[in-house]
Amino acid sequence: MDCIFCKIVAGELPSYKVYEDEKVLAFLDINPVNPGHTLLIPKEHYETTLDTPDELLQAMAAAMKKIAPAVMRAVKADAWNLGVNNGAAAGQIVMHTHWHIIPRFARDEHRLWRGEPYAEGEAARVARHITDNIKA
């Protein structure tokens, strides 16, 4: 399969690995938001978080809880973001499930997303639609 992250798993492309177990792999992002920016992936290929079986998401969550504090300590970060782009419109470029573990510093001035307040009544309507879709 022509997937750069599968090639990293297979050892066909180089990476700076930081963690590996039976199910997941974590390595440095080559274009970090800040040094230590790490990508956590399932070794098996799935396109997005929602395509990924719960068992692998659980393994990713467990690994994330080990890796994020280690990243923080290694680069003396003040905080960290967990970032997930699901789909091209959300900024996903590599179509193999991955979570970004991004160390943050009090004065790094990165703004990862912006927000706009809801118009009057809109929040209640949107919340209801989401809840209805969860029940459906």
Secondary structure (DSSP) of 68-83? HHHHHHHHT-SEEEEE
**Least distance in Å: CB of 126 to ligand AMP?**
25
7 belongs to the binding site for Zn ion (CB under 5 A): no
AA identity, residue 82: L
72 belongs to the binding site for ligand AMP (CB under 6 A): no
91 belongs to the binding site for ligand AMP (CB under 6 A): yes
Cite the DSSP H helix spans in the chain: 4-10, 54-75, 122-135
Count of CA atoms in the C-beta half-sphere (13 A) of 54: 0
Which parts of 5-34 interact with ligand AMP (CB under 6 A)? 13, 15, 29-31
Active site residue 110: no
Nearer to ligand AMP, 61 or 126 (CB): 61
Residue 6 binds which entry of ligand AMP, Zn ion, none, with Cβ cut-offs from 5 to 8 Å by kind? Zn ion
Which parts of 55-114 interact with Zn ion (CB under 5 A)? 96
**Least distance in Å: CB of 11 to Zn ion?**
14
Alpha-carbon span 95 to 3, nearest angstrom:
8
Alpha-carbon span 82 to 1, nearest angstrom:
27
Please give the residue ranges that form the binding site for Zn ion (CB under 5 A): 3, 5-6, 45, 96
